[in-house]
């Protein structure tokens, strides 16, 4: 079944410098990296094209300065692209008025950033209800909606606390709740957990996945942490120097890196804990072996079973045979 794009970027560029649009036109919208530098421009985004599908978690990652935050800001038009087109549903974001853009942001987009930016003089419920206040919704209705979100993000009993009375993780829950107040169709999260300590960070990742399983939003999530990306993403974009180097599933990036840059991101990861059986199995719908494993199980969980039996049958969630995996394949995967 064909997936529906929620957001489309087409050939998006963002250059900083003097008359960058004229500069790109002069070079047929394809100047070399050297030409850009020689003529005094800074390349933030280079010719980025991507479709973001409905209900998916698309993670954008790269090192500092790779362009990931700038790309997201172009997607929401917090930053104007130099050239290129961005479509939200069927709306060309470059052709609408400022008023229409504000309405889309208020009603259809939610944003969470690394720094919580909570109002210190407002309580939890008042912070979460703030976007609804901006929309002109009455106090009773907005507080009722805010209480539903407070329950969703696990802050029941703390609705009347002020930010200074909350832990870092709790403050970030308020930030997440506030971004969900307008029931956004598209949810942007820019390194929302990077300021948290590792234990709280993992807890918030779990909360994020739980919320997504309930709400099924279309999500664009920025991180520089590959472990976090692997854990959360349906697909991952790897960026370098403003360019999209590769787009694919976590397994695609680990098994089929586009270049050495992507390979460096993945080479030290515990592949057996990240990859599923289906990524290394032999496809064979006629396999007759008695011992079975599920295609979505992580490889490390089935190693002993495969080594004991020599070869096992792989089945899907409907118990249909989809392939087989033998000990030679597992050994090669683990030790090569």
d(CA 27, CA 195): 41
Instruction: Tell me, yes or no, whether 26 lies in a domain.
Output: no
- Do 285 and 213 share a structural domain? no
Instruction: Tell me, yes or no, whether 135 lies in a domain.
Output: yes
Instruction: Tell me, yes or no, whether 17 lies in a domain.
Output: no
pTM of the model: 0.86
- Model pLDDT, residue 268: 79
Residue 211 clears pLDDT 70, i.e. is over it: yes
The last residue of a domain, from among 271, 297, 315: 271
Token couple for 111 = 């944003």
- Do 263 and 196 share a structural domain? yes
| Residues facing residue 313 across a β-bridge | 292, 324
- Model pLDDT, residue 2: 59
**Best CA proximity match to 275, nearest among 308, 311, 303, 241:** 303
Residue 1 clears pLDDT 60, i.e. is over it: no
* Count of domains forming the chain: 2
**Best CA proximity match to 120, nearest among 165, 68, 170:** 165
The last residue of a domain, from among 216, 240, 271: 271
- Do 233 and 311 share a structural domain? no
Instruction: Tell me, yes or no, whether 244 lies in a domain.
Output: yes
- Do 214 and 126 share a structural domain? yes
Q: Which residue has the higher pLDDT, 115 or 60?
A: 60
Residue 286 clears pLDDT 80, i.e. is over it: no
- Model pLDDT, residue 204: 85
Residue 259 clears pLDDT 80, i.e. is over it: yes
Instruction: Tell me, yes or no, whether 27 lies in a domain.
Output: no
- Model pLDDT, residue 116: 67
- Do 134 and 67 share a structural domain? yes
Residue 81 clears pLDDT 90, i.e. is over it: yes
Residue 56 clears pLDDT 90, i.e. is over it: yes
**Are 235 and 58 within 8 A, CB to CB?**
yes
d(CA 181, CA 176): 9
Range name among 29-33, 58-62, 177-181, 200-204 with the lowest pLDDT average: 200-204
The last residue of a domain, from among 227, 243, 271: 271
d(CA 300, CA 271): 9
Q: Is 305 helix (H, G, I), strand (E, B) or coil?
A: helix
**Are 172 and 192 within 8 A, CB to CB?**
yes
Domain containing 134 equals 54-84+93-271
Mean pLDDT, the chain, rounded, equals 90
């Amino acid at each position: 079944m064909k997936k529906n794009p929620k957001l489309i970027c087409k050939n998006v560029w963002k250059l900083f410098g003097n008359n960058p649009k004229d500069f790109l036109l002069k070079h047929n919208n394809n100047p070399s990296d050297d030409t850009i530098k020689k003529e005094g421009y800074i390349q933030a985004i280079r010719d980025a094209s991507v479709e973001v599908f409905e209900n998916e978690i698309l993670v954008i990652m790269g090192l500092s300065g790779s362009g990931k935050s700038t790309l997201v800001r172009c997607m929401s038009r917090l930053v104007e692209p130099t050239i290129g087109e961005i479509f939200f549903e069927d709306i060309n974001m470059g052709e609408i008025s400022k008023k229409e853009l504000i309405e889309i942001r208020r009603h259809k987009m939610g944003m969470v950033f690394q720094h919580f930016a909570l109002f210190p003089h407002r309580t939890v419920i008042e912070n979460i209800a703030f976007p609804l206040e901006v929309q002109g919704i009455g106090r009773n209705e907005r507080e009722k909606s805010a209480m539903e979100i407070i329950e969703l993000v696990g802050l029941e009993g703390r609705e009347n606390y002020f930010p200074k009375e909350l832990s870092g993780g709790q403050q970030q829950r308020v930030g997440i709740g506030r971004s969900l107040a307008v029931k956004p169709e598209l949810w942007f999260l820019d390194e929302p957990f990077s300021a948290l300590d590792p234990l709280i960070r993992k807890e918030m990742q779990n909360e994020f996945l739980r919320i997504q399983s309930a709400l099924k939003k279309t999500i664009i999530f920025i991180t520089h942490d590959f472990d976090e990306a692997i854990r959360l993403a349906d697909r991952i974009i790897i960026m370098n120097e403003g360019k999209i180097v590769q787009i694919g599933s976590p397994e695609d990036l680990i098994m089929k890196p586009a270049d050495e840059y992507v390979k460096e991101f993945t080479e030290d990861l515990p592949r057996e804990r990240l990859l599923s059986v289906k990524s290394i199995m032999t496809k064979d719908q006629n396999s007759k072996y008695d011992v079975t494993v599920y295609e979505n199980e992580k490889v490390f969980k089935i190693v002993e079973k495969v080594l004991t039996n020599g070869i096992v049958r792989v089945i899907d969630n409907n118990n249909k045979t989809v392939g087989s995996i033998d000990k030679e394949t597992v050994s090669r995967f683990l030790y090569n």
